[in-house]
Amino acid sequence: MVTLFDIEKANQTAFERLQKAEPHIVDLGIACEVIPGMEKNTILHAGPPIDLERMSGPMMGAVTGAVIYEGWADTPHKAIEYLKEKNLAFDPCHHHSAVGPMAGIISPGMPVWIVEDGSSGKRSYATLNEGLGKVLRMGAFDQEVIERLHWMREVLFPVLKAGVERYVEENGGINLKSLISQALHMGDELHNRNRAATSLFIRSLVPYLVESSTDNTSLAKVIRFMAGNDHFFLNPGMAAAKVSLDGVGSVEGSTMVTVMARNGTDFGIQIAGLERRWFTCQAALPDVLLFPGFTRADVNRDIGDSAIMETYGVGGFALAAAPAIVQFVGGTPQDAINYTREMYEICLGENRNFTIPSLNFRGTPTGIDLIKVVETGITPILDTGAAHREAGRGQVGAGIVRMPSEAFVSAATAFTDRYL
């Protein structure tokens, strides 16, 4: 049996490990060649474990697109047949030190960022961001989507890899923690708004892309692609959050949440003191600001590993740093401040590295405490994108969503049974 003092001490250990993490981009690679435990017949997905039969429309759409991208089928119909033959293994990204936004699909031949924590030595992985709208992560799989993915592997990946290798050789890695800290002071919250972070990232990397490039035409296309995609930083930012939280590891007696993730059907969490056990419930139905032409009936249940950003202490928890985000997700700048202030009530502490200018540089609320969530009834908020519930339709909007309480209650019951 542990005491409240033991829990407090364990949480302090977990919180300090998170604060000490130093995530850096160190390379890029092809998924099946660098992600631990990933085979050539494996497709990784967002959220807790799920069978093919229970996958939501956007996840099925993304899986269909991945099958076509890999060349296992050449039409959506044949891709569905291929999937039904059970030739593939499905596993959560989180089981392989990886993360993916929205559907989160990582297939064997996709290029991925490799992020390393200088404190723990652990690594994490994330795909390259496609942009907004009709994209694979939102469940779209038409020819435009597949062609873009092939271009990303054939052109974007080698240009980025060469530039990153040159940067790492001269500087020892791209410091993602520093970029996130700076971006918070420039109006980003690092989940749905990454404009400043993407700009800082491009400014850091472009000289090395130029120096390492042997094809100016490809280089120009790569720079235009990055500059035209304000969310380009999201994926390496997610990998930074993942490797930092993985660095916490298992902490006996800790109630700190280390994973929040959604697969479009289920919402799941993991707790530092309960190892890698999933606690799940039905995913929330986001009440989002819709793009023109869509209705609330079009919205799929919440989906994506990008909740790792809020688990890390940014995203929805840092909304007060990003008043302009309300133009994309709805509400007012005061609402953004109120959301951040509310999140302090369920966190272990304030981040020493990530601060919010509009709150007199107060640290972002960090380290979600399972006990505080259950005792207060306040659950974490996320600012999220929303996918169409039908496969192939893509994004329908963006907004604020509150995580359902049932998973936290289940985890609290398990914690009580084990420790109290």
Token digits for 17? 């490990």
In one-letter notation, the amino acid at residue 21 is A
Please name every residue paired with 362 in a beta bridge, in sequence order, or none if there are none. Answer: 356
- Three-class DSSP category at 187: coil
DSSP E strands in 83-206: the ranges are 89-92, 98-99, 111-117, 123-127, 174-175
- Three-class DSSP category at 355: strand
Q: What are the phi and psi torsion angles at 397 (to 5°)?
A: 170, -170
What pLDDT shows up at residue 85?
Answer: 87
Distance CA 259, CA 311 (A): 7
For strands 111-117 and 23-30, give the pairing.
antiparallel
pTM above 0.95, yes or no: yes
Q: What is the mean pLDDT of each run of 10 residues along the chain (420 residues)?
A: 86 98 98 96 97 96 97 95 89 98 97 97 97 90 96 98 98 97 98 97 97 96 97 98 97 98 98 96 91 91 97 97 81 90 98 97 98 98 90 86 97 95
Distance of alpha carbon 161 from its chain centroid, rounded?
Answer: 21
Cβ atoms 368, 347 nearer than 8 A: yes
Give the DSSP letter string of 218-233. Answer: HHHHHHHHHHT-TTTT
Distance of alpha carbon 311 from its chain centroid, rounded?
Answer: 10
User: Using the 8-state DSSP alphabet, how is residue 55 labeled?
Assistant: -
For strands 42-45 and 89-92, give the pairing.
parallel
Cβ atoms 54, 387 nearer than 8 A: no
* Cα angle: 124, vertex 126, 129; to 5 degrees: 155
What pLDDT shows up at residue 328?
Answer: 65
What pLDDT shows up at residue 136?
Answer: 96
Q: Which of 183, 234, 233 is nearest to 205 (CA)?
A: 233
